Amino acid sequence: MPNKRKTPMSAPAPKRPRLHEDAGDGATPHEQPRSHPVYGQKNAFPGLDDAGDELFYGPADDGLEYLRMVRSEANALPSLFIAESSQTVTATPNSNAPVNSSERDRQKLSFKAGFYMDEAYVAPANSDEKSLASLEKGYPEAQYSYYNLLRHRFLLLRSTLRCTPPATAIAGLDDSHPISLPRNHAPARKEWRRLTLAVDPQMVQLACMDSESVLSVLQVIARGLSDNVRSGDTAGIRRLGAWVWGLLGKCREVGELSTEEVGEIRDLGKRAAKILEKVREAEEAGEEAEEEEEEAYEEDSPTEEYDQDGKEEPATPSTEHKAEESDTHDVEMPSDADQPDELAAAKARLQARLQDSEDAVPEDTSNSETRVKQIRAMLDMIITVVGEFFGQRDLLEAREVWTGAQTPP
């Protein structure tokens, strides 16, 4: 066999020496950009950090020293500037000592200091906000007691609807008591609009509804609230108020709702406040119209046909003709024996007509008063629940103050 040629073992060739070293190898940690300890920004010029906390006021020989000088001036300034108030001195009439206006304003404002928590400033609670007690301060005692009872009843309703109903009760629900409403389903929304006016809600039905369906039904009711109030159906208005009461009790608390969901509930309260204002304006306009009609009736009432001198006016030809006809008819009048029976029959017919008219007018008036009371009670309930339990306190100012004639039905 031919001998294979063995390659001689030689040492590895030496590496070519570098002509220059990398700039990053010999860089000191101070030359690397660092983050600002307060603001978190990275410095664009690493060389400015070499001086540390020392202040440099010049003279600047190059651009880097000029930047260092500007930074030193900026570090010397406070991080928060407070404008000084005008130091005008005024003398009070009751005292000889002058009063500083800045001190007087400071005492008048008396701001409370906030605090820092997790690197965030938390402002103190505003004590000038209108509390619930201050809003109800001007209400009469009966109205205050009514709102207090309404709040307790709503809390009881909310806790009851959170319980799971028994399976037998859920199985007993019929087709007229559905428990869901899809968001974008026009036939279902139309059916729910009919059910809220024709069928009373059930506690089992409300307890089984999910949050999305509850808000969808509330949206349907809010959009048709004005039309339902104008319809004048007392039973429908009472039934609609029961639906709103139950659906609001089924809603989650305001802290568990999103911004859009709270906005839908607020829209219901705003519509109720606007309708209540229109009802109030319509009543005021009706009272003014009645006063104008009474004044016009008094002006057009008949007066005695006497002139200013107290003399009787001469009779017109038509009256003379009627008098002649009455004279001729007097001869043909029936005997006195037949008059009592005819007068009694005419009197009985007249009394029957008057009795029917008197019975009809109070019935219509009572129905109208009941309908107005139902409307006011429903709208007031919506505003109260939405304002107190869903954070919309500004709507509470739209509630009416009860007078002697305004009482809950």
Structure confidence at residue 359 as a pLDDT band (50, 70, 90): low
Are the beta carbons of 238 and 374 closer than 8 angstroms? yes
One domain, residues 275 and 180: yes
For residues 170, 172, 176 and 178, what is the CA-based torsion angle, rounded to 10 degrees?
10
CATH number of the domain bearing residue 235: 1.20.58.1070
Q: What is the pLDDT of residues 112-148, one digit of tens each?
A: 666 776 656 676 665 444 555 556 667 888 888 999 9
Where a domain ends, among 42, 72, 102?
72
Report residue 384 as tokens. Answer: 């109260």
Instruction: Tell me the two tokens of residue 88.
Output: 């005008």
Partner residues linked to 99 by β-bridges: 90
Q: Which amino acid is at 69?
A: M
Domain boundary pick from 72, 92, 124: 72
- Could you read off the pLDDT of 376-409 as tens digits, one per residue? 899 999 999 999 999 898 899 888 888 755 555 5
Query: What is the secondary structure of 26-55 as a DSSP string?
Result: T--GGGS--B-TTT-PBPS-GGGGTTTT--
Q: pLDDT band at residue 88, thresholds of 50, 70 and 90?
A: low
Structure tokens that stand for 7 in this block: 């390659």
Q: Which residue has the higher pLDDT, 367 or 2?
A: 367
How many domains are there within the chain?
2
Does residue 362 belong to any structural domain of this protein? no
Measured CA to CA, the distance from residue 205 to residue 217 in angstroms comes to 13
The answer, yes or no, to whether residue 360 has pLDDT greater than 60, is: no
Residue span of the structural domain in which 230 resides: 136-281+378-398
Flag whether 167 is in a domain.
yes
Do 391 and 267 share a structural domain?
Answer: yes
Same domain as 243, residue 385: yes
E strand intervals along 128-189: none
Judgement on whether residues 394 and 263 belong to the same structural domain of the protein: yes
Asked if residue 387 and residue 271 are part of one domain, the reply reads yes
Model pLDDT, residue 309: 47
Look at 81-85, 305-309, 331-335 and tell me which has the smallest mean pLDDT: 305-309
47-85 confidence digits (pLDDT tens): 666 655 566 666 777 777 788 788 777 777 777 777 776
Residue 34: burial class (beta carbons within 10 Å; 0-12, 13-18, 19+): middle
| Pair 148, 260 in one domain | yes
Q: Are residues 68 and 140 in the same domain?
A: no
The helix, strand and coil proportions of the chain, stated in percent and rounded to the nearest 5, come to 55, 5, 40
Same domain assignment for residues 244 and 388: yes
For residue 270, the SS3 value is helix
